[in-house]
């Protein structure tokens, strides 16, 4: 028995690739079957259609769904896609601007204890449910919510930003902020002090050093963070549902409605390929900018 | 602080410019409880190759960083060519630093790295390109401008770091253990190379190292640091042959100290003659240990009247076996009176 076990071990010892194979087979199989398989089915079903009278799925190849999505005569879906991408871009930009100084403080200024504290504060919201946090914002931003109560308290006019794109922009920026802070922090933390000293030594003022050394070296971290903030916003449908107004549907909401209420899975599939393609392009660009070395 | 009575031989360039290039007056730097530099007074002449030598934690690197402006002294004054620069930031000082681990910017090419200082100062593109090429020529790496620092070897990076500083023609070049990361062979090559470059460009070099051999080989003058103070300051020959304190004697070369009649003397191991037991003069003793080092053999001799001396003999005619067999033999040690010096205890009573 023992001998058999040893012989079995020896097989792995003699052929290191065997070990890799044994380790990778289950996750790769699961990945191929569930993830890639599902994506393939999604993409294929985008070329089917639903009989509008019977509501039955028809397996006839056509590109009608894509024609509707990209139609310029009725730009409903193009507008929704544009809104989704626009807000995702705005959220990414906002988070980059907000996260950079915070991450810089954490990485290069704070003492170890303060740094731990700030870390906890950044990560703590992730421990609570995402839905709860969005609901909290709904209460803050609604017309008779905390924001307007506070504004009224100090004598400022009411802001009617509840259930608008503004509200979505604010809420998204808030919920995804930690995903930007962490990679930017990691990138900033890795810059050795003596790069900054060398820059100053060579005649660069603090601002010049920031522009020529710190920002370029932190850029991969910013791009890595933007992958999160951009893709998470792009795929979301809960926030638009809860804090968005009547005219603020995202791609995700349309997909959701077509799977549920409208029962038009092929159209949902066609629209869902749009963010997949956008993210694929985005990742290629991010790779060029060195974002994956920063993760 | 220990003083030494020896006259300082002025390096040849000193007469050319009267004001020293670097002058530290009563400089002190502490980090909380830790005293990094207790008190340093120092004058470095223009064109001099000046070395700050000492073990780690002796304050040599802190002293260099005070000149560069990365640290602010708690007390005292830093002067550059007669001007008080104590409170100027690094970018407003006409000095450049070569860092121990080079600190080349990884996102820039070699050419951009070398041209960084010029670009920051707004030197026009064409002149910048010319000077960068010149600097790369000086460090004998003219063809690497388009590469990234990661594509270079350690020795090449070291040269680029040097070029990046030299290209700015600073008043003083500061070098913080620049050869520390290189292997022995390359280090020895670079020592010669650095000295050549320093003589070519005629710049003042302030060089930090813990390697005594490096300090002796390269410097016009050197200051031996210990516990935040200068123990001795002088030319390599002075410091080596006439160590002023026990610390200097031990740090540079082998500590060879014997106590006779309450006075302490030192003598360098290669100055001692080792003879057989028969004569009368000299110190008698027994060889306790023999270390064969190839080119020479090191004998550790226990003296009858107390103490121990290391003797070094070149292996001119003796073989390793003969040398090793002499263990336990009785010998007599002699040296010329001018090769022995009375030393202080270290001067920190």
Is there a single domain that holds both residue B137 and residue B213? yes
Task: Report pLDDT digits (tens) over B182-231.
Answer: 888 888 888 998 999 999 888 999 999 999 889 998 999 999 999 999 99
**Whether residues B48 and B193 fall in one domain:** yes
- What pLDDT does residue B3 have? 43
Q: Check which CATH number belongs to the domain holding A105 and give it.
A: 1.10.3720.10
Residue A11, in any domain of the structure: no
Give the CATH number for residue B78: 3.40.50.300
CA angle, corner B235, sides to B234 and B240, nearest 5? 90
**DSSP secondary structure letters along B21-65:** SEEEEEEEEEETTEEEEEEEEEEE-TT-EEEEE--TTSSHHHHHH
Q: How close does chain B come to A194, measured CA to CA in Å? A: 6
Whether B261 is in a domain gets the answer no
Domain of B326 in residue numbering reads as: 268-334
Res A61: pLDDT: 86
Q: With respect to residue B14, please indicate whether it lies within any of the assigned structural domains.
A: yes
The reply to whether A217 touches chain B by the CB within 8 Å rule is yes
Identify whether A66 is part of a domain.
no
Q: Is B162 exposed, middle or buried (0-12, 13-18, 19+ CB in 10 A)?
A: buried
Q: Is the same domain home to B37 and B155?
A: yes
| Confidence (pTM) | 0.78
Nearest CA in chain A to B67: A201
In a domain, A30, yes or no: no
Per the structure, the count of domains in chain B is: 2
CATH number at residue B283: 2.40.50.140
Contact B70/A at CB under 8 A: yes
Question: Among residues B241, B259, B288, which one ends one of the domains?
Answer: B241
Closest CB to B68: pick one of A201, A216, A217. Answer: A201
| φ, ψ of residue A249 in degrees (nearest 5) | -70, 145
Domain end among B241, B256, B280: B241
Give me the pLDDT at residue B293, please.
86
> What range defines the domain where residue A196 resides?
75-294
Confidence category of residue A4, pLDDT binned at 50, 70, 90:
confident
Q: Please list every residue in chain A whose beta carbon sits closer than 8 Å to the beta carbon of residue B116.
A: 199, 202, 204, 212
pLDDT-derived band at B10, boundaries 50, 70, 90: very low
Mean pLDDT of chain A: 89
At which of B206, B225, B241 does a domain end? Answer: B241
Both B285 and B175 in a single domain? no
CA distance A72 to chain B (A): 44
Whether residue B137 is contained in a domain is answered as yes
Whether residue B154 is contained in a domain is answered as: yes
For the ranges A110-119, B10-19, B123-132, the lowest mean pLDDT is seen at B10-19
Instruction: Quote the CA–CA distance of B138 and B160 in Å, as a whole number.
Output: 10
With 70 as the cut, is the pLDDT of residue B1 above it? Answer: no
Is residue B261's pLDDT more than 90? no
pLDDT, average across residues B109-137: 95
- The 10s digit of each residue's pLDDT in A19-34 is 888 888 889 998 888 8
How far is the alpha carbon of B91 from chain A, nearest alpha carbon, in Å? Answer: 4
The reply to whether B284 falls in a domain is yes
**Domain-located, residue B254:** no
- Angle of the B110-120 helix axis to the B125-138 helix axis, nearest 10: 130
Q: Is the pLDDT of residue B9 over 80?
A: no
Cα–Cα dist A251/A81, whole Å: 6
Cα angle vertex B239, ends B238, B242, to 5°?
Answer: 70
Please check whether residue B101 touches A, CB under 8 A: yes
Domain shared by B50 and B130, yes or no = yes
Residue B16, domain member (yes or no): yes
Query: B158 and B285 share a domain?
Result: no
Structural domain total, chain A: 1
d(CA A180, CA A191): 18
| Mean pLDDT of the residues in chain B | 87
At residue B318 the predicted structure's pLDDT band, cuts being 50, 70 and 90, is confident
Residue B41: inside a domain, yes or no? yes
Task: Report the chain B residue with the minimal C-alpha distance to residue A290.
Answer: B107
A215 at interface of B, judged by CB pairs closer than 8 A: no
- Rounded to a whole number of angstroms, the distance from the CA of B92 to the nearest CA of chain A is 7
Residues B162 and B32 in one domain: yes
Say whether both B232 and B309 belong to one domain.
no
Instruction: Kindly provide the residue ranges of all beta strands, DSSP E only, lying in chain B, ordered along the sequence.
Output: 22-31, 34-44, 49-53, 75-80, 83-84, 95-98, 172-176, 204-209, 221-226, 229-234, 257-260, 263-267, 273-275, 283-292, 296-303, 308-314, 330-334, 340-342
DSSP string, A73-86: SSTHHHHHHHHHHH
Q: Which residues of B touch A213 (CB under 8 A)?
A: 105
Q: Is residue A229 part of a domain?
A: yes
Cα distance between the two ends of chain A: 45
Q: Is A198 an 8 Å CB contact of chain B? A: yes
Answer whether residue B2 shows pLDDT above 60: no
Question: How many Å apart are CA A213 and CA A190, to the nearest integer?
Answer: 12
What are the tens digits of pLDDT across the range A202-239?
999 999 999 999 999 999 999 999 999 999 999 999 99
d(CA A21, CA B290): 58
Instruction: Kindly state whether residue A13 falls inside one of the protein's structural domains.
Output: no
| B83 and B203 fall within a common domain | yes
Task: Give the separation between CA B218 and CA A183, rounded to whole angstroms.
Answer: 46
Closest alpha carbon to A229 in A92, A81, A89: A92
Strand partners, B84: B79
Q: Is residue A42 part of a domain?
A: no
Closest-CA distance of chain B to residue A42, Å:
41
Residue of B nearest to A198 (CA): B103
């Amino acid at each position: 028995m023992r001998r058999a076990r040893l012989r079995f071990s020896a097989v792995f010892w003699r052929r290191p690739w065997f070990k890799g194979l044994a380790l990778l087979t289950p996750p790769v199989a699961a990945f191929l079957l569930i993830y890639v398989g599902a994506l393939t089915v999604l993409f294929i079903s985008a070329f089917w259609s639903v009989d509008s009278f019977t509501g039955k799925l028809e397996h006839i190849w056509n590109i009608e769904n894509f024609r509707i999505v990209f139609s310029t005569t009725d730009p409903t879906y193009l507008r929704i896609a544009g809104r989704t991408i626009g807000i995702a871009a705005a959220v990414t930009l906002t988070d980059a601007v907000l996260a950079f100084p915070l991450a810089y403080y954490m990485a290069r200024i704070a003492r170890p204890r303060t740094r731990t504290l700030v870390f906890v504060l950044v990560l703590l919201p992730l421990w609570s449910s995402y839905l709860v946090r969005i609901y909290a914002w709904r209460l803050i931003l609604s017309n008779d919510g905390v924001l307007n109560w506070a504004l009224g308290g100090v004598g400022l006019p009411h802001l009617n930003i509840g259930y608008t794109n503004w509200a979505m922009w604010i809420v998204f920026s808030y919920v995804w902020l930690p995903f930007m802070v962490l990679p930017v922090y990691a990138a900033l933390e890795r810059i050795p002090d003596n790069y900054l000293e060398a820059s100053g030594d060579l005649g660069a003022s603090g601002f010049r050093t920031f522009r020529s050394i710190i920002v370029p070296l932190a850029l991969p971290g910013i791009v890595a963070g933007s992958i999160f903030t951009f893709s998470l916003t792009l795929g979301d449908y809960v926030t638009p549902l809860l804090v968005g107004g009547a005219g603020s549907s995202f791609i995700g909401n349309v997909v959701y409605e077509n799977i549920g209420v409208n029962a038009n899975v092929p159209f949902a599939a066609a629209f869902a390929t749009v963010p997949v393609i956008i993210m694929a392009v985005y990742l290629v660009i991010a790779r060029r900018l060195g974002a994956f070395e920063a993760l | 602080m220990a003083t030494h009575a020896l006259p300082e031989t002025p390096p040849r360039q000193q007469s050319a410019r009267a004001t020293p290039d670097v002058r530290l007056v009563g400089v002190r730097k502490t980090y909380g409880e830790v005293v990094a530099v207790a008190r340093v007074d120092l004058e470095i002449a223009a064109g001099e190759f000046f070395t700050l030598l000492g073990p780690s934690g002796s304050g040599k690197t802190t002293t260099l960083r005070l000149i560069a402006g990365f640290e602010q002294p708690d007390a005292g004054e830093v002067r550059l060519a007669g001007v008080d620069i104590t409170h100027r930031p690094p970018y407003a000082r006409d000095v450049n630093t070569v860092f121990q681990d080079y600190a080349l910017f990884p996102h820039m090419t070699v050419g951009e790295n070398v041209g960084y200082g010029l670009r920051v100062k707004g030197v026009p593109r064409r002149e910048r390109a010319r000077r960068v090429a010149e600097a790369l020529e000086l460090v004998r790496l003219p063809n690497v401008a388009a590469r990234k620092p990661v594509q270079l070897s350690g020795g090449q990076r070291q040269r680029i770091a040097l070029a990046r500083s030299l290209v700015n023609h600073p008043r003083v070049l500061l070098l913080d253990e620049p050869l520390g990361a290189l292997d022995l062979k390359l280090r020895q090559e670079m020592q010669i190379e650095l000295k050549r470059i320093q003589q070519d460009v005629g710049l003042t070099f302030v060089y930090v190292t813990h390697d005594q051999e490096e300090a002796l080989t390269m410097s016009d003058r050197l200051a031996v640091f210990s516990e935040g103070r200068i123990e001795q300051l002088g030319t390599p020959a002075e410091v080596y042959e006439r160590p002023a304190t026990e610390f200097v004697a031990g740090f540079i070369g082998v500590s060879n100290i014997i106590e006779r009649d309450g006075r302490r003397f030192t003598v360098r191991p290669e100055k001692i003659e080792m003879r057989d037991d028969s004569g009368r003069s000299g110190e008698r003793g027994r060889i306790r240990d023999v270390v064969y080092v190839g080119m020479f053999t090191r004998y550790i001799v226990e003296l009858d009247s107390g103490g121990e001396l290391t003797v070094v003999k070149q292996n001119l005619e003796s073989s390793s076996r003969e040398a090793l067999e002499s263990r336990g033999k009785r010998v007599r040690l002699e040296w010329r009176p001018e090769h022995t010096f009375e030393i202080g205890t270290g001067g920190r009573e």
